[in-house]
């Protein structure tokens, strides 16, 4: 009787088609609840160190003196505890995964307030009546 079970499985696989996603042709769409990576809006961060104290894997490091925030993406288990404890809500979880790395040093993501681009002030450019600048 096991031959009928196997024949049924073979026929189902022949009719159904491939079970895998044809990646280069179709890009995978992640659901909104996917926990992919932790992002920090460093310009809003007050460097209070609550996220680094709450991290169970000690993946986050905060330096108040250098105004620098680092995360080791290989240590991070994406538990969202740092996002929940952040008082200014500058941490967020993105639903896209971090890019794979071959070297451990490439997994260290560092952001500092000095690296952040300065906020651009919008200039009011005079324009003539024809809409040209």
Q: Domain containing 70: what range?
A: 29-112
Considering the domain boundaries, does residue 39 fall inside one? yes
The neighbour count for residue 15, using CB atoms within 10 Å, is: 7
The domain total for the chain is 1
CA–CA gap between residue 65 and residue 46 (Å, rounded): 12
- DSSP-based three-state secondary structure for 6: helix
CA–CA gap between residue 51 and residue 46 (Å, rounded): 11
Considering the domain boundaries, does residue 100 fall inside one? yes
CA-angle at 44, arms to 92 and 98, nearest 5°: 35
Each residue's pLDDT tens digit in the chain (133 positions)?
A: 678 888 988 888 888 877 777 777 888 888 888 888 999 999 999 999 999 999 999 999 999 999 999 999 999 999 999 999 999 999 999 888 888 888 888 888 888 877 555 445 444 444 455 545 4
Q: What token pair was written down for 88?
A: 């200014």
Residue located via tokens 């680094």:
52
Considering the domain boundaries, does residue 33 fall inside one? yes
Query: Which CATH number is 37's domain given?
Result: 3.30.70.3270
pTM, two decimal places: 0.65
Give the distance between the most distant pair of CA atoms in the chain.
86
Considering the domain boundaries, does residue 126 fall inside one? no
Considering the domain boundaries, does residue 7 fall inside one? no
Considering the domain boundaries, does residue 41 fall inside one? yes
Considering the domain boundaries, does residue 6 fall inside one? no
Considering the domain boundaries, does residue 14 fall inside one? no
């Amino acid at each position: 009787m096991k031959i009928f079970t196997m024949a049924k499985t073979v026929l189902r696989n022949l009719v159904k088609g491939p079970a895998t996603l044809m990646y280069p042709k179709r890009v995978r769409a992640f659901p909104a609840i996917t926990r992919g990576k932790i992002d920090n809006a460093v310009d809003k961060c007050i460097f209070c160190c609550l996220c680094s104290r709450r991290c169970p894997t000690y993946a986050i490091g905060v330096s108040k003196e250098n105004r620098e925030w680092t995360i080791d993406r290989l240590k991070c288990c994406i538990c969202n505890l740092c996002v929940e404890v952040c008082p200014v809500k500058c941490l967020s979880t993105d639903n896209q995964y971090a890019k794979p790395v071959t070297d451990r040093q490439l997994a260290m993501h560092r952001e500092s307030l000095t690296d952040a681009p300065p906020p651009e002030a919008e200039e009011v450019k005079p324009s003539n009546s024809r809409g040209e600048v």
